[in-house]
């Protein structure tokens, strides 16, 4: 099988799953969403399965305008919670959503997404896990948030990434350096 065939099969499969999800009764979908969101921050394994579930549901519902508050809810988790795992898994969910949804469907919520990401990238954030999840979410959001930046704003984002690059943990250094090299050009190039 060639790559195009594989991509086509997966696209059709995911479209089928989205249709099946949207065909469920509203009360069932709301029950599942409520429970999946409550599961964020309770897992001990990485990456968070709950974050992946939230993102999958959001990818089906956001284009249909059926879950308008999910981005705001995830942002609030990142900004207001003292639970490190909840903050990390919420950033992971935002990253997955940004990666998997068409950017045009998220443009109106770009500022909410960026607020959560910047909060996770703060220099005084003690958790490398949170900073890495925020960096991943930032990289996944660059395609549709590029319009929110200008060269002055861009220069203020570079310092947010340097604490990730200058870390004792080789794992975070490698990932963040690679991300800086591969995608920050999106912000700088016209």
Q: What is the pLDDT of residues 7-25, one digit of tens each?
A: 677 677 777 788 898 999 9
Which CATH number characterizes residue 87's domain? 1.25.10.10
pLDDT of amino acid 143? 73
Domain that holds residue 55: 3-188
* Confidence tier at 107 by pLDDT (50, 70, 90): confident
Predicted pLDDT at 120: 92
Question: What's the pLDDT tens digit per position in 160-182?
Answer: 555 554 455 555 555 555 555 55
The encoded tokens of residue 77 equal 């988790």
pTM for the whole structure: 0.80
Average pLDDT over residues 127-135: 89
pLDDT, residue 148, reads 61
Domains of the chain: total: 1
Q: What is residue 151's predicted lDDT score, i.e. its pLDDT?
A: 47
Instruction: Inform me whether the pLDDT recorded for 82 exceeds 90.
Output: yes
Write down the pLDDT at residue 103.
Answer: 75
The pLDDT score that the predictor gives to residue 81 is: 95
């Amino acid at each position: 099988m060639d790559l195009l065939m594989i991509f086509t099969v997966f696209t059709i499969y995911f479209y089928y799953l989205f249709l099946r999800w949207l065909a469920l009764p509203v009360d069932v979908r709301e029950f599942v969403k409520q429970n999946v969101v409550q599961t964020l921050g309770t897992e001990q394994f990485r990456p968070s399965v709950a974050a992946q579930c939230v993102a999958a549901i959001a990818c089906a519902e956001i284009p249909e305008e059926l879950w308008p508050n999910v981005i705001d809810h995830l942002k609030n988790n990142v900004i207001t919670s003292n639970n490190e795992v909840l903050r990390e898994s919420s950033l992971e969910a935002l990253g997955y959503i940004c990666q998997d949804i068409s950017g045009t469907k998220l443009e109106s919520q770009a500022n909410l997404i960026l607020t959560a990401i910047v909060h996770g990238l703060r220099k005084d954030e003690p958790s490398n896990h949170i900073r890495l999840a925020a960096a991943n979410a930032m990289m996944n959001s660059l395609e549709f948030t590029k319009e929110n930046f200008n060269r002055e704003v861009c220069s203020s984002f570079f310092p947010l990434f340097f604490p990730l690059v200058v870390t004792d943990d080789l794992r975070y250094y490698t990932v963040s350096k690679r991300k800086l090299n591969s995608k920050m050009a999106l912000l700088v190039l016209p």
